[in-house]
Amino acid sequence: MNIAIQGIKGSYHHEVATLLYDNCQITTCTNFSDIPPLLVTKKVDKAVMAIENSIAGAILPNYALLDEYKLDICGEYYLQIHHQLMALKGQSLDDIKEVWSHPMALEQCRKFFRKYPHIKLIEEKDTAEVAQMVQERQLKGIAAIAGKKAAEIYNLNIIADEIQTHPDNYTRFITVTSDKKQTAATFSKVSIRFTLLHEAGSLWQILEVLKNNNMSMSKIQSLPVVEKPWEYAFFVDILVDDIITYKKVENEIKEIVTELKILGKYENRMLH
């Protein structure tokens, strides 16, 4: 099994991939946008992508990638995120002038850095890659935000631990594929994408269908339709207790929307 991830060894994506797939081959990507072409051309079997964080919110560009490349969500996993501030051995918090990390990691730790206004926060592409860079370049006065595994791999000293704003900090990861045949036979969640007519109450009709069938949403997100200015697509996650009821709901929604895409039917679980 060849799994594509954003980031390098020691990143949270790497942690999720190794928890899910024993002895898998990892293909690392600098950007999320590098992943879909690998799936479409069958150079990798699946990919792990973060889609949302409980503190920083949705990663909107990844919704757009799912849509553009017609990828299928085949699993969903929640990982509790523990951010550590790390630097070269011998460095302390007083020595740090800049902290480099992924924008989402910086956002999740912003409250911690309010106590240190002299520290400049610099956005980078990957948490673990910064940890690697600090070690390889012997960067003094620079710290990285990453997980404990990155500190171990790149031999850095943790100078402040658990610096995330909230202790219950979770990131929602999805596994995706371009192979529609991998849809689960049983599922507890469905992700859909739809567009609506410009009519008053059209979104309310969707909500009414869910209410009348006693089904709940866990997420609703809108994104602009690029080729149609001021029109929006809605991305909705539906919790499924009964598959027969869900099929009824799907048919009813089809009658209301102008376009409906099923982004994935899958099980969700917590990772430890």
Q: What are the domain boundaries of the chain?
A: 2-81+169-182, 84-160, 189-271
Q: How far apart are CA 191 and CA 72, in angstroms?
A: 9
Backbone angles phi, psi at 182, to 5 degrees: -90, 10
Query: For position 226, what pLDDT does the model report?
Result: 80
Query: For position 201, what pLDDT does the model report?
Result: 84
Is-contact 155 132, C-beta < 8 A? Answer: no
CA distances, 228 to each of 223, 233, 249 (Å): 11, 10, 27
**CATH 3.30.565.10, applies to 84-160:** no
Q: Where do we find the tokens 């599922």? A: 187
Query: For position 220, what pLDDT does the model report?
Result: 95
Distance of CA 52 to the CA centre of its chain: 5
Query: For position 182, what pLDDT does the model report?
Result: 59
User: Which fold is adopted by the domain 2-81+169-182?
Assistant: D-Maltodextrin-Binding Protein; domain 2 (3.40.190)
Query: For position 25, what pLDDT does the model report?
Result: 96
Is-contact 55 165, C-beta < 8 A? Answer: yes
Fold match, 84-160 / 189-271: no
Backbone angles phi, psi at 156, to 5 degrees: -110, 160
Is-contact 174 58, C-beta < 8 A? Answer: no
Strand stretches in the chain, DSSP E? 2-6, 25-29, 46-53, 57-58, 72-80, 84-87, 98-101, 120-123, 142-146, 157-160, 170-177, 189-195, 216-224, 232-239, 259-266, 268-271
- 0.95 exceeded by the pTM? no
Q: Which two tokens stand for residue 175?
A: 């596994």
Backbone angles phi, psi at 249, to 5 degrees: -60, -45
Of the candidates 28, 163, 173, the one whose C-alpha atom is nearest the C-alpha of residue 105 is: 163
**CATH 3.40.50.620, applies to 189-271:** no
Low-confidence ranges of the chain (pLDDT < 70): 181-184, 272
Query: For position 184, what pLDDT does the model report?
Result: 65
Angle at 150 between CA 76 and CA 7, to 5 degrees: 50
